[in-house]
Chains A and B, each alone.
Chain A
Amino acid sequence: QQQVKQSPQSLIVQKGGISIINCAYENTAFDYFPWYQQFPGKGPALLIAIRPDVSEKKEGRFTISFNKSAKQFSLHIMDSQPGDSATYFCAASGGGGSNYKLTFGKGTLLTVNP
């Protein structure tokens, strides 16, 4: 059972464009929704995260939009740059107990063309 569904699997954007990656979750106990960025040959690194008490969080060119009723959240990369080319993973966690573990989406390979 896949608890976090991510789309698209791959995305090609021109430099300066907007990249949008979407995720949907099923477990209403989740209360932490991070996005991880992974460059080739590296481990994933936290990019930005949101909790369900807000609908949007912005850090520089990266924004998470969160829709609790629809159980969806998305990553928007404004003014996309070739250096943003990487694999992006959404994840979710929460519910107390040992549920600090993260459940990841399958990833989106973003290519930003110069």
Chain B
Amino acid sequence: DVKVTQSSRYLVKRTGEKVFLECVQDMDHENMFWYRQDPGLGLRLIYFSYDVKMKEKGDIPEGYSVSREKKERFSLILESASTNQTSMYLCASSPVLATGTSVYEQYFGPGTRLTVT
């Protein structure tokens, strides 16, 4: 089974703190994604990475950065946390076929519920 793990299920931080959310996948997937999930807004893509040290902005990258130093690990960084970043954060991964074609199916972790006070 594909397993995507996230470092914390619940996290409480103060405004202005630097926050690191960690995600690890054990299936050697090339693509990794960070989403935030808010009631009534669905899942919105923050950043994604298609290779080590490669990243692309998603739909809502403002206030976030990412790091991918190893294939299995993708970190989301909140440089200076704000209350409007209180949300559920979901990490996902997907593989690339031997043909070089990305598989659309994404495998999600359980999420980290971040509260910024």
A101 surroundings in chain B (CB, below 8 A): 33, 45, 48, 58
Which residues of chain B are within 8 angstroms of A42 by Cβ–Cβ distance?
110-111
**Which of these, A45, A46, A106, contacts B40 with CB under 8 Å?**
A106
From A32, A43, A107, contact of B42 by CB (8 A):
A107
Q: Are B102 and A100 in contact (CB under 8 A)?
A: yes
Interface residues of A: mostly helix, strand, loop or mixed?
Answer: loop
| Category for how many chain B residues contact A | 20 to 34
Q: Which residues of A contact B105 (CB under 8 A)?
A: 34, 46, 49
CB distance from B56 to the nearest CB of A (A): 6
Determine the distance from Cα of A42 to Cα of B104 in the docked complex, in whole angstroms.
20
Q: How large is the interface on A (under 10, 10 to 19, 20 to 34, 35 or more residues)?
A: 20 to 34
| A-B residue pair count with CB separations less than 8 angstroms | 52
Contact B42 A106 (CB under 8 A): yes
Greatest chain B CB density within 10 A among A9, A101, A104 is at A101
Is B108 an interface position by the 8 A CB rule? yes
Q: Which of A36-56 contact B (CB under 8 A)?
A: 41-46, 49
Is A6 part of the binding interface, using a Cβ–Cβ cutoff of 8 Å?
yes
CA distance A100 to B43 in the complex (A): 16
Report the separation of the CA atoms of residues A102 and B44 in the bound assembly, to the nearest whole angstrom.
9
A89 at the interface (CB under 8 A from B): yes
Which residues in chain A, 76-114, are within 8 Å of chain B measured between CB atoms?
89, 93-94, 98, 100-107
Q: Mark A11-49, 1 if CB is under 8 A from B, else 0.
A: 000000000000000000000101000000111111001
Interface residues of A (CB under 8 A from B): 6, 9, 32, 34, 41-46, 49, 89, 93-94, 98, 100-107
Please name 25 pairs of A and B residues whose Cβ atoms are closer than 8 Å in the assembled complex, sorted by A. Answer: A9-B40, A34-B104, A41-B110, A43-B4, A43-B90, A43-B92, A43-B110, A44-B90, A89-B42, A89-B43, A93-B104, A94-B104, A100-B102, A100-B103, A101-B45, A101-B48, A101-B58, A102-B45, A103-B45, A104-B42, A104-B43, A105-B42, A106-B41, A106-B42, A107-B43
